[in-house]
Amino acid sequence: MKRQIHVLEKSVDNSNFLWVTRGEKWGFRYLSKCSLLAPYIDTIYKKLFLSDENRIGYWKGNIFIDNESKYQFVACRYYDDTDVLQDEAGRRIPHEFLLLCSIDEYDELVNLSFGVMIWGKIKNQYLKLFHHSSNEVSDCNINFILKASSSGEGREPCESFVSLDLFLSSLPVNRNLSKGLSKYFFGVILLVFLVFCFAFYYILRNIEDSERTVIKSVTIKNPNNSKNISHSGSR
């Protein structure tokens, strides 16, 4: 019986693809931000890639948001061995990829050299940016299709993959919002307090001025009584 060969056709664009790298003169930055995960990208990047950049790494797993499974992903840190590019400090340049995928695509991608496949699609875009200064570098427009069969060629070593489920929460976003609201309400309360203090001071001054006015008017109308009061007070 002839072996069935599964064919992968995976659409890749800026919504499902994360790409982080550096150039000759510019430091690490996102060239594609995986917009489906925009609020969580920094957290995901730290969980996956903040390790020794000189080590090649492969990850696969699920992304949970508020304990609900949302996405499957494959990720890798890739080096182009065919064209060794270096930054101004003489360091090799890694390319860190994360790709969101369906369950079927996930099963295919973990058995393919997806890092090499992706690099072949985006290398020309990167080379155009490599020598630019930092202020000349912008996000790349990603839009390509990964095509491959899982007949066995180009298979990544299975032991190189690290299974890693990422648990994220929408609470950090809400916390940031609550912090902003807390600052707003604190400012409003402080303003009300200051207005109250000013009003209290203003009323107190008016009372004191009224008392002085009354005393003066009494003194003017009864000058003899005021003298008697002053004499009796001196005895």
Q: For residue 69, what are the contacts with CB-CB under 8 A and spacing of at least 6?
A: 62, 63
Q: How far apart (Å, rounded) are the C-alpha atoms in residues 81 and 202?
A: 78
pTM higher than 0.75 for the full model?
no
Q: How far apart (Å, rounded) are the C-alpha atoms in residues 39 and 45?
A: 12
pLDDT of amino acid 155: 45
pLDDT of amino acid 143: 97
Q: How far apart (Å, rounded) are the C-alpha atoms in residues 106 and 73?
A: 7
pLDDT of amino acid 179: 59
**In the block, residue with structure tokens 């695509």:** 105
List 19's β-bridge partners, or say none. 32, 97
User: How is residue 222 written in tokens?
Assistant: 């009864």
pLDDT of amino acid 161: 82
* Cβ pair 116, 83 in contact under 8 A: no
Check residue 66 and give left, alpha or beta (phi > 0: left; psi -120 to 50: alpha).
left
pLDDT of amino acid 156: 46
| Residues in the chain with pLDDT values less than 70 | 1-6, 149-159, 171-182, 209, 211-212, 214-235
User: How is residue 145 written in tokens?
Assistant: 């299709």
Q: How far apart (Å, rounded) are the C-alpha atoms in residues 234 and 115?
A: 103
**In the block, residue with structure tokens 């008392």:** 211
**H/E segment holding residue 207:** helix 171-221
At position 177, the amino acid (one-letter code) is L
Q: Look at residue 102 and give its three-state secondary structure.
A: coil
Closest CA to 48 of 163, 146, 159, 157: 163
